[in-house]
């Protein structure tokens, strides 16, 4: 085994193979910077090279690209507040908040080093598990996979901030949206409403970019400041990078734990990088003190380390079932499988015996590619961090075009752009109403795996058989124990005597909250939850027309969602009434008569809050209108012409840039689109009125 490992290393460090590894790293970094493309696009772009290169060169190129895609997708998430990929959305909670404080250099340094650690640990884990992975993976059947997905969704309780009810509502809504399309257990389409473009379900990239990316873009359009919040703030990028290194040394265990969790998420079919990063984030929060837990979601470096390490270690985990069983753990791994078959190498136990040098070529490429990618990003981070100080409307002009072009790559269906805009508006409302978006995305990602593994479990085992399996019991204990602890903690708080009003401080928030400049009034939050409950009720009524196998999951999701949404609405109404009832008392104590206080329906602060919310809502509507205009232009004129019209009009009208700046900016955006189309294989939407051959 050692002989094969060193033989593969000698082949890889040969000048010809090393050049291809570096080319793959550069290609992966460039593709990763473009929101929505991801590792699948990187591997797909480089896959044709297998017909002209030898196995060592081709694998160095492909693995080098896929190893660093999750390193560079951090840039858009941290600096721009737009997820570079679905799995990078978790970085918006803490990474982007650090950038808003002017600490983009620090956040990027932490992310790049954690990503390198995750890639190296993933490669080491792949090496160590080659002899033992076969019995390990075979020990996980349908019941264990079902409980793993339940556990992943249950992590939403740790990501729901002050309101677990709103978090569970978001998770149920994500589960319901993930059930659009073909049912896994029946020959029936669900919630497609006879629309062909919905038959294959909703594209993950479009959903993630909509709920996170477009939602942020709506806010970008009307804000005059930069991402960091101050255009006069000093950069201090070199100091921020050094601080990032100190953070890694101080909290070294979080990247290690995130790497191990991410690798395990890659091994398990159907879990993947997106759920793995959120699990790593929840695990990082769960292993700190209650006082430190309050910092998560507000720019804590540990909220960047764990998920970013997990994001890169998933690649190593994905390769374990791919190489040992010939079962790809992800779409990019499936393409790698095809590349190996082109060379006449069949993944599986036989590959371990007869082509061990090829296996170690993949291992070394993964490790070296992760190190090279992180070092290159590390060198460029001071320059990349400066994007955080560009005025937001200027960023929004080009970002809007790139976002919709990126979302088109997955499904190549124009209606998904409209869906992105709807989800973006919903994401903006979620953020304003303190409805966490993370549980929504987790529910969406794990919806079909949860349903699939449930039906497999139900078909193969009786309930006593699968529920008493050791791994199932362990995961059930992990699921139940935090709930019991929370209930005991709440009970203890209620029975604790208070000597006087105001002596007992309020309970700290149990989870991270998304920092937002927009705060909807309480009654708007209640109204939003009522609207969401109506969506659940409608879904329940529609699902009654499905066959039994197809309607079970939508029924459970819609009923559970309806109940928790109504409970959240009732909780908001009670909060509003308590605030109204206590206001006169507080005013009377301050020297104002109770009758006068009752006569005043709202104090000055309330009036300012309502006025501010009305202004924010009006700005958001204008932002949605601008994006709707861009989509209409794409429909009729195609992406290139629409971009050439939208960008200068937006820059001159909203961003108020100079004419020369608008011309140069527009030319750069159009040139980037043309280069991506002609040399990177990006597909651009063609409008109904686009001239032939344009």
Domain ranges for the chain, please list them.
1-80+89-227+238-489+518-574, 638-693
DSSP class per residue in 145-196: HHHHHHHHHHGGGGGSTT-HHHHHHHHHHHHHHTT-EE-TTSS-EES-TT-G
User: pLDDT tens for residues 291-304?
Assistant: 787 788 888 888 88
Average pLDDT of every residue of the chain: 77
Tokens, residue 42: 């990187």
Comparing 652 with 332, the larger pLDDT belongs to 652
**Listed residue (589, 569, 588) closest to 577, CA to CA:** 569
Per-residue model confidence (pLDDT) at position 425: 93
**Rounded mean pLDDT, 423-448:** 85
Lowest mean pLDDT among 17-31, 220-234, 306-320, 654-668: 220-234
Cα 266 from Cα 233, distance rounded (Å): 41
User: pLDDT tens for residues 165-177?
Assistant: 888 899 899 999 9
Cα 366 from Cα 221, distance rounded (Å): 39
Is 581's pLDDT higher than 90? no
Cα 386 from Cα 237, distance rounded (Å): 9
**Listed residue (252, 202, 192, 145) closest to 466, CA to CA:** 145
Question: Where would I find the H helices in 508-547?
Answer: 522-543
Lowest mean pLDDT among 119-128, 247-256, 347-356, 463-472: 347-356
Q: Which residues of 504-540 are buried (b: 16+ CB within 10 A; e: fewer)?
A: eeeeebbbbbbbeebbbbbebbbbbbbebbebbbebb
Label the pairing between strands 189-190 and 181-182. Answer: antiparallel
User: pLDDT tens for residues 606-625?
Assistant: 565 677 778 888 888 988 99
The structure's pTM equals 0.69
Lowest mean pLDDT among 94-98, 108-112, 267-271, 286-290: 267-271
Is 353's pLDDT higher than 50? yes
- Whether residue 366 contacts residue 13, with contact meaning beta carbons closer than 8 Å, is answered with no
**Rounded mean pLDDT, 101-119:** 83
Comparing 261 with 610, the larger pLDDT belongs to 261
Is 509's pLDDT higher than 70? no
Per-residue model confidence (pLDDT) at position 232: 41
User: pLDDT tens for residues 471-496?
Assistant: 888 888 877 776 677 667 666 665 55
User: pLDDT tens for residues 366-392?
Assistant: 788 888 888 887 777 666 656 656 777
- Confidence band for 231, pLDDT divided at 50, 70 and 90: very low
- Confidence band for 586, pLDDT divided at 50, 70 and 90: very low
Cα 637 from Cα 57, distance rounded (Å): 42
Per-residue model confidence (pLDDT) at position 498: 44
Cα 116 from Cα 367, distance rounded (Å): 8
Q: At what angle do helices 604-637 and 215-222 cross, to 10 degrees?
A: 110
In what helix (H) or strand (E) does residue 126 lie, and over which residues does it extend?
Answer: helix 104-129
Per-residue model confidence (pLDDT) at position 531: 94
């Amino acid at each position: 085994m050692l002989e094969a490992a060193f033989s593969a290393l000698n082949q890889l460090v040969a000048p010809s193979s090393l050049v291809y590894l570096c080319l793959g790293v550069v290609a992966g970094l460039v593709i990763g910077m473009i929101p929505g493309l991801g590792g699948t696009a990187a591997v797909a772009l480089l896959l044709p090279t297998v017909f002209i290169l030898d196995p060592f060169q081709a694998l160095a190129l492909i693995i080098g690209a896929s190893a660093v895609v999750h390193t560079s997708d951090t840039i858009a998430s941290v600096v721009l507040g737009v997820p570079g990929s679905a799995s990078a959305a978790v970085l918006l909670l803490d990474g982007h908040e650090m950038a808003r404080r002017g600490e983009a250099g620090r956040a990027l340094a932490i992310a790049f080093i954690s990503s390198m650690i995750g890639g190296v640990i993933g490669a080491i884990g792949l090496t160590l598990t080659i002899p033992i992975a076969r019995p390990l993976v075979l020990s996980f059947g349908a019941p264990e996979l079902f409980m793993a997905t339940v556990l992943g969704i249950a992590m939403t309780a740790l990501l729901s901030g002050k309101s677990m009810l709103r978090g569970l509502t978001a998770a149920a809504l994500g589960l319901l949206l993930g059930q659009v399309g073909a049912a896994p257990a029946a020959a029936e389409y669900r919630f497609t409403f006879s629309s062909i473009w919905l038959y294959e379900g909703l594209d993950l990239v479009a959903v993630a970019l909509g709920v996170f990316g477009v939602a942020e873009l709506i806010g970008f359009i009307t804000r005059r400041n930069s991402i960091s919040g101050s255009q006069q703030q000093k950069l201090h990028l070199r100091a921020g990078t050094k601080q990032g290194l100190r953070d890694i040394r101080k909290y070294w265990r979080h990247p290690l734990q995130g790497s191990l969790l991410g690798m395990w998420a890659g091994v398990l079919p159907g879990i993947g990088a997106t759920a793995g990063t959120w699990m790593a984030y929840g695990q990082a929060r769960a292993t700190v003190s209650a006082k430190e837990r309050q910092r998560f979601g507000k720019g804590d470096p540990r909220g960047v380390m764990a998920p970013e390490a997990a994001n890169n270690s998933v690649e190593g985990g994905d390769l374990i079932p791919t190489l040992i069983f010939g079962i790809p753990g992800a779409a990019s791994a499936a393409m790698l499988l095809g590349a190996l078959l082109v060379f006449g190498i069949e993944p599986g136990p036989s590959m371990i015996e007869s082509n061990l040098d090829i296996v170690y070529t993949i291992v070394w490429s993964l490790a070296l590619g992760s190190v090279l990618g992180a070092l290159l990003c590390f060198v460029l981070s001071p320059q990349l961090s400066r994007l955080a100080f560009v005025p937001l409307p200027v960023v929004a002009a080009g970002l809007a075009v790139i976002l919709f072009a990126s979302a088109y790559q997955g499904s190549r269906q124009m209606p998904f752009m409209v869906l992105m805009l709807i989800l973006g508006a919903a994401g903006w409302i979620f953020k304003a109403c303190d409805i966490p978006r993370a549980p929504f995305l987790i529910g969406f990602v794990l919806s079909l795996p949860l349903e699939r593994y449930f039906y497999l479990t139900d078909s193969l085992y009786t309930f006593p058989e699968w529920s008493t399996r050791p791994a199932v019991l362990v995961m059930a204990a992990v699921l139940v124990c935090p709930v019991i602890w929370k209930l005991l903690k709440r009970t203890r708080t209620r029975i604790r005597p208070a000597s006087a009003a105001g002596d007992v401080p309020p309970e700290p928030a149990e989870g991270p909250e998304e920092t937002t400049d927009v705060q909807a009034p309480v009654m708007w939050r209640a109204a939003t939850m009522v609207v969401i409950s109506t969506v659940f009720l409608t879904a329940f009524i529609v699902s009654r027309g499905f066959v039994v196998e197809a309607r079970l999951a939508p029924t459970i999701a819609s009923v559970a969602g309806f109940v928790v949404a109504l409970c959240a609405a009732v909780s908001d109404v009670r909060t509003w009434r308590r605030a109204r009832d206590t206001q006169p008392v507080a005013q009377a104590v301050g020297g104002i008569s109770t009758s006068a206080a009752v006569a005043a329906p709202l104090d000055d602060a309330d009036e300012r809050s309502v006025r501010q919310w009305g202004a924010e809502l009006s700005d958001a509507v204008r932002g949605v209108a601008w994006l709707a205009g861009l989509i209409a232009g794409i429909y009729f004129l195609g992406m290139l012409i629409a971009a050439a019209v939208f960008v200068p009009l937006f820059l001159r009208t909203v961003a108020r840039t100079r004419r020369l700046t608008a011309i140069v900016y527009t030319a750069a955006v159009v040139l980037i689109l043309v280069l991506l189309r002609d040399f990177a294989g990006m597909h651009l939407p063609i409008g109904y009125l686009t001239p032939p051959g344009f």
